[in-house]
Structure 1
Amino acid sequence: MAQHQPIFQTKLEEDFVQIPMNIERDSTTLVSSDRKPNHWPTIVLSTIFVIIGQSIAKLLENFYYDKINRSEYNAQRQNDGVWTQALLQTVGFPLLLLPFIILLTTKKHNNNPPITSDQLHYKSLAVIYICIGILMSVQGRLSAMGKLETPFLLFTLVYLTQLFFTPIFARLINKIKFNRWVVISLVFAIVSGALTFTSTFGGEPDNAEQRFARGIWAALFAAVCFSLLLCNIQNVFDSYIFKRTESKPSFASVFEVIIFSSLAATLISTVGLLIAGEQHDLKREMNGFPKGKGAYVMVMVGQAVSWQLYWVGIVGLVFSVSSVLSNVISVVSWPIVSVLVVVFFNFRSFSGEGHDEFDTFKGVALIPAALSVAAYFFRLHKENLDSAY
Structure 2
Amino acid sequence: MEITSQADPSRKKRRLLLIFNCIILGIGNCGGPLITRLYFLDGGKSVWFSSWMETGGWPMNLIPLLLTYIQRRRSEGSNAKLLFITPRIFMKAAIIGVLTGVDDYVYAYGLSKLPVSTTVLLIATQLAFTAGFARLLVNQKFTAASVNAIVLLTIGAGCLAIGASGDRPPGETEKEYILGFVLTLTAACLYGFVLPWIELTYRTAKQAITYTLVLEMQLVMCFFSTSFCSFGLLVSKDFKTIPDEAKAFSMGVGKYIAVCIGSAVLWQLFFMGVVGVSCFGSSLMSGIIISALTPVTEVLGVLFYHEKFRGEKALSLVLALWGFVSYFYGEMQTSKESKDHEESQDLNPSQTLPI
With normalisation by structure 1, the TM-score equals 0.71
More helix by share: 2
Provide closer, same or farther for how the CA distance between residues 102 and 156 of structure 1 changes in structure 2, counting only shifts above 3 A.
closer
Structure 1: distance between partners of 2:104 and 2:157: 19
Q: CA deviation at 1:315?
A: 1.0
Contact 2:302 2:309 in 1 (8 A): yes
Q: CA deviation at 1:175?
A: 2.5
Aligned to 1:123: 87
The yes-or-no answer on 1:238 pairing with 2:203 is: yes
Aligned to 1:135: 99
Secondary structure at 2:38 match in 1? helix
- Compare 356-365 and 41-50 and name the one that shifted more: 356-365
Aligned to 1:4: none
Find the structure with the greater CA-based Rg: 1
Q: Deviations over 1:129-153 (max 9, x none)?
A: 2211111110010112233456778
Q: Deviations over 1:301-322 (max 9, x none)?
A: 0010001111111111100121
Correspondent of 2:228 among 268, 284, 293: 268
Provide closer, same or farther for how the CA distance between residues 181 and 133 of structure 1 changes in structure 2, counting only shifts above 3 A.
same
Query: Which structure 1 segments of 5+ residues have no match?
Result: 1-30, 71-79, 350-354
Contact 2:121 2:294 in 1 (8 A): no
The yes-or-no answer on 1:32 pairing with 2:7 is: no
Structure 1: distance between partners of 2:89 and 2:73: 21
With normalisation by structure 2, the TM-score equals 0.77
Structure 1: distance between partners of 2:154 and 2:276: 22
Aligned to 1:41: 16
Query: Which structure 2 segments of 5+ residues have no match?
Result: 347-355
The yes-or-no answer on 1:57 pairing with 2:21 is: no
Provide closer, same or farther for how the CA distance between residues 333 and 217 of structure 1 changes in structure 2, counting only shifts above 3 A.
same
Contact 1:185 1:373 in 2 (8 A): no
Q: CA deviation at 1:294?
A: 0.6
Q: CA deviation at 1:120?
A: 6.5
Aligned to 1:12: none
The yes-or-no answer on 1:227 pairing with 2:192 is: yes
Q: Percent identity?
A: 22
Q: CA deviation at 1:296?
A: 0.6
Provide closer, same or farther for how the CA distance between residues 172 and 41 of structure 1 changes in structure 2, counting only shifts above 3 A.
same
Provide closer, same or farther for how the CA distance between residues 356 and 373 of structure 1 changes in structure 2, counting only shifts above 3 A.
same
Give matches, 1:1-389, under 5 Å.
31-32=1-2, 34=4, 37-38=11-12, 39-68=14-43, 80-107=45-72, 122-149=86-113, 159-180=123-144, 182-183=146-147, 204=169, 206-208=171-173, 210-211=175-176, 214-240=179-205, 243-245=206-208, 249-345=209-305, 348-349=306-307, 355-356=308-309, 360-361=314-315, 364=318, 367-368=321-322, 369=324, 372-373=327-328, 375-376=330-331, 379-380=334-335
Provide closer, same or farther for how the CA distance between residues 373 and 176 of structure 1 changes in structure 2, counting only shifts above 3 A.
closer
Secondary structure at 2:55 match in 1? coil
Provide closer, same or farther for how the CA distance between residues 376 and 186 of structure 1 changes in structure 2, counting only shifts above 3 A.
farther
Contact 1:289 1:296 in 2 (8 A): yes
Structure 1: distance between partners of 2:156 and 2:332: 17
Structure 2: distance between partners of 1:363 and 1:203: 18
Provide closer, same or farther for how the CA distance between residues 203 and 184 of structure 1 changes in structure 2, counting only shifts above 3 A.
closer
Q: CA deviation at 1:209?
A: 6.1
Contact 1:163 1:328 in 2 (8 A): yes
| 2:196 partner letter | C
Aligned length: 334
Q: Deviations over 1:58-88 (max 9, x none)?
A: 22122222222x8xxxxxxxxx421112111
Secondary structure at 2:214 match in 1? helix
Q: CA deviation at 1:57?
A: 1.7
| 1:47 partner letter | C
Provide closer, same or farther for how the CA distance between residues 216 and 62 of structure 1 changes in structure 2, counting only shifts above 3 A.
closer
Provide closer, same or farther for how the CA distance between residues 186 and 49 of structure 1 changes in structure 2, counting only shifts above 3 A.
farther
CA RMSD of aligned residues (A): 3.9
